[in-house]
Amino acid sequence: MHHLSRRTLLAAATAGVAATALSTAPARAAAQPSDQALKKIISGMSLEEKVGQLFVMRVYGHSATAPDQADIDANLKEIGVRTAAEMIDKYKLGGIIYFAWAHNVRDPHQIADLSNGIQQAGSRQPSRIPLLIATDQEHGIVCRVGKPATLFPGAMALGAGGSHSDARKAGQIAGAELRAIGIVQDYAPDADVNVNPANPVIGVRSFGADPQAVAGMVAAQVKGYQSAGIASTAKHFPGHGDTATDSHTGLPVITHTREQWEQLDKPSFQAAIAAGIDSIMTAHIVVPALDPAEDPATLSHPILTGILREQLGYDGVVITDSLGMEGVRTKYGDERVPVLALKAGVDQLLNPPTLDVSWNALLNAVRSGEVTEARLDESILRILRLKAKLGLFKDPYVTHRGVDRTVGTPGHLAAADRIAERTTTLLVNKDGLLPLSRRTHKNVLVLGANPASPSLSDGPPTTVLGAALTELGFSATVLATGTAPTQAVIDQAVAAAAGQDAVLIGTYNVAAGSAQQKLVNAVAATGVPVVTLSMRNPYDVAQLSASDAHVAAYSWIDVELRAAVRVLAGAAEPRGKLPVAVQKADDPTQVLYPIGYGLRY
């Protein structure tokens, strides 16, 4: 859509049922309507509008009304509509989720215009209810909005820094930037306690393995996000930190006893609730100790109503994880999942694989009496309370001027750099190799994996590392070797190491006997000092005994890589402490580096 003025957009939003319902309230209440006013809105909604209000859906395209033809084709194939505006018109949606792969997030001005277009489409519906626009912006390895927005270290890095103040500041700045582009609900922070090093889906998305430490960081980040005027979302209830299966592709089973759940998983969600969390996301996991029927938590009344609502006293918005994930589709068909989720205690239904199937299934469940309209109204009231709290009834729109004042400012970027420096963790430093000296280690060969998303970085990680070294006065040569280097690539790296003063190798989830491990061993055998830098899981260090020094950065995002290089070069002190334990490679029952371990210069 074209960039419209705030006045024009507000004029569209303040007409109709919602405005009528709110007009009798005093001016102060207009910004945050009372339950009575919200119930009046609900009473005027059709059944179709009520059902639609529960869904948060993906859509392809950079514009609400004029996406590219390829995105129109994708929308027609997956959703049966051409545009976001048509989807809102047809299904009366309550929310939209943005993804980079759906081409929703090209640049800040475009995102702001897309958000305004979505809100304008909502204002044309009979109820005139603004939408909750959401995304997964956890930072670290999970980001949807890239540069020039400010990108912060992810949860495990912040856990290594151990500063509640830094966690809160990161949330506050990130939240302000999201709000400036029209995103009002962030599916962060991750409140899972990562006690399983083999966890394929959480890992560094968690603040760590100590339940109380994670709880403190979660509470701090929730307060940071919500102080910026967006809804924070703690996930994935009742706790996804001890899984060996990825719920995107299977149904994980957690064998914790009830007592273990109380000790390990409960504290962080309890802390989020105490901090005033606006929404909580469910996990597609089975926890037999919490629900003997072994339903996924997303569909479990004992877990979502019995524990979350009744035991923990939570009355905010409960949202499912994506309903397109296999974990929630394994036991029941797609037409049953939204109905069972609502009966379990869910309010928002996120990203079903086929919207028409899910939407009609819920509509028919209400018409048949399986789900009462009163139950529907309970969830809608929670959703509208959140929209009111966020000020969306008063003004759901954003401006380019607000974007320019807020997104990626020098002050925000500097804050991210300072925070990142305090997270970098030094785990190995044989014979005091680090910090590298420009006098004795002038020439550095940079090798390693390149898992980065181009939209989130200044280039592949090896390029970023090389550039950061060059900026600090080193002479860097870059050779990308990947996550699975062939013997030919390893031989090339060994040859390139000749004549170098040091080699820096970025690693990514190194396994025993893997090609990455062979690369490190082969380069170390040349006698050139080798520094390894884990760009995701800190557990890599257990497989890299040939390294002369090892640093954990917890992510391949630029801000963390640049901070790690400053630490390597002595421009910053390594202050991070492991928030998880690293077990010995040859005996996982023994701890190699405990929680809290970290070297200093």
Q: Which two tokens stand for residue 38?
A: 């919200």
What sections of 472-589 are H helices per DSSP? 487-497, 515-524, 558-568
Catalytic residues: 248, 321
Q: How far is CA 33 from the centre of its chain?
A: 30
Contact indicator for 79, 102 with CB cutoff of 8 Å: no
Residue with the two structure tokens 């005033």? 276
Residue with the two structure tokens 């962060």? 188
Contact indicator for 443, 501 with CB cutoff of 8 Å: yes
In three-state form (DSSP H/G/I as H, E/B as E, the rest C), the secondary structure along 36-103 is: HHHHHHHHCCCHHHHHHHCEEECCCCCCCCCCCHHHHHHHHHHCCCCCHHHHHHHHCCCEEECCCCCC
Q: What is the DSSP letter of 587?
A: E
Q: Compute and round to an integer the Cα radius of gyration of the chain.
A: 25
CA–CA separation, 328 and 300 (whole Å): 11
Sign of CA dihedral 548, 553, 556, 557: negative
CB neighbours of residue 107 within 10 Å: 18
Q: Rounded to 10 degrees, what is the CA torsion of 544, 547, 552, 556?
A: -90
> Would you tell me the crossing angle of helices 164-180 and 211-227 to the nearest 10 degrees?
40
Q: Which two tokens stand for residue 275?
A: 């901090």
Element (H, E) at 443: strand 443-448
Sign of CA dihedral 301, 303, 307, 308: negative
Nearest to 188 by CA among 242, 163, 151, 162: 151
CA–CA separation, 592 and 585 (whole Å): 8
Question: CA 375, 50, 44: angle at the middle one, nearest 5?
Answer: 105
CA–CA separation, 288 and 197 (whole Å): 22
Nearest to 157 by CA among 175, 174, 144, 138: 138
CB neighbours of residue 257 within 10 Å: 12
What sections of 307-353 are H helices per DSSP? 326-329, 337-344
For residue 24, with 0-12 CB atoms within 10 Å meaning exposed, 13-18 middle and 19 or more buried, which class applies?
exposed
Residue type for position 138:
E
What sections of 399-475 are H helices per DSSP? 400-406, 410-421, 461-471
Residue type for position 82:
R
Cα atoms in the Cβ-side hemisphere of radius 13 Å centred on 96:
34
* 313 conformational bin, left if phi > 0, alpha if psi -120 to 50, beta if neither: left
CA–CA separation, 15 and 316 (whole Å): 28
Element (H, E) at 103: none
